[in-house]
Amino acid sequence: GGTATAPGAAAAAPKPLMPPDKKFIKDAGKSIYYELQIAEFAKTGATSDATKKFAELVNKELNKAWETLGELAKAKGETLPAELTGGDKSSAERLKKTKGDNFDKLFFREILKEAKSLERDFVSAAKLTTGDGDVKSFATNYLAIVKGHVNDGEKAEKASQKKP
């Protein structure tokens, strides 16, 4: 069964999100955007293969998350960041100018800090019982990937410090 909806009902304005959901989309968007930017720098800046491989993994997986989050945000009437601002911007600029082994060190410091903060955001969004089901399922679906970036990142960091 189920009741028939009036034509055009599907195009109704999105139901406004609760503040925690709004905050999650904003914070996750900011973190993912930043990680994607600095993973991009690692293609040319990294000296260690471990760093490059990890950056590629982050790039691939977070691009998918970014697209999905973008669709979710749009459906909910939210917007994702289109540029880096504040501390993210200055950190990214500093990283871009860093060369050699120092690049790898700074890269891991930045990306792990961000990955851990992203993991916290995803954990709490996946646990939220009130709020938006789509936001919760996005957080739940990507939680393992986000957690993986913390673990894989820590392993890659160790590997990147080993000299041949």
CA atoms within 13 Å, Cβ hemisphere of 141? 13
pTM here?
A: 0.89
Dihedral sign for Cα 141, 17, 60, 113, please.
negative
Q: For the residues 18-36, what does the mean pLDDT come to?
A: 96
Is the pLDDT at 7 greater than 70? The verdict is: no
Q: What 8-state DSSP symbol labels residue 123?
A: H
pLDDT band at 11 (very low <50, low <70, confident <90, very high): low
> pLDDT digit string (tens) for 109-120?
999 999 999 999
8 A C-beta contact, residue 135 and residue 24: yes
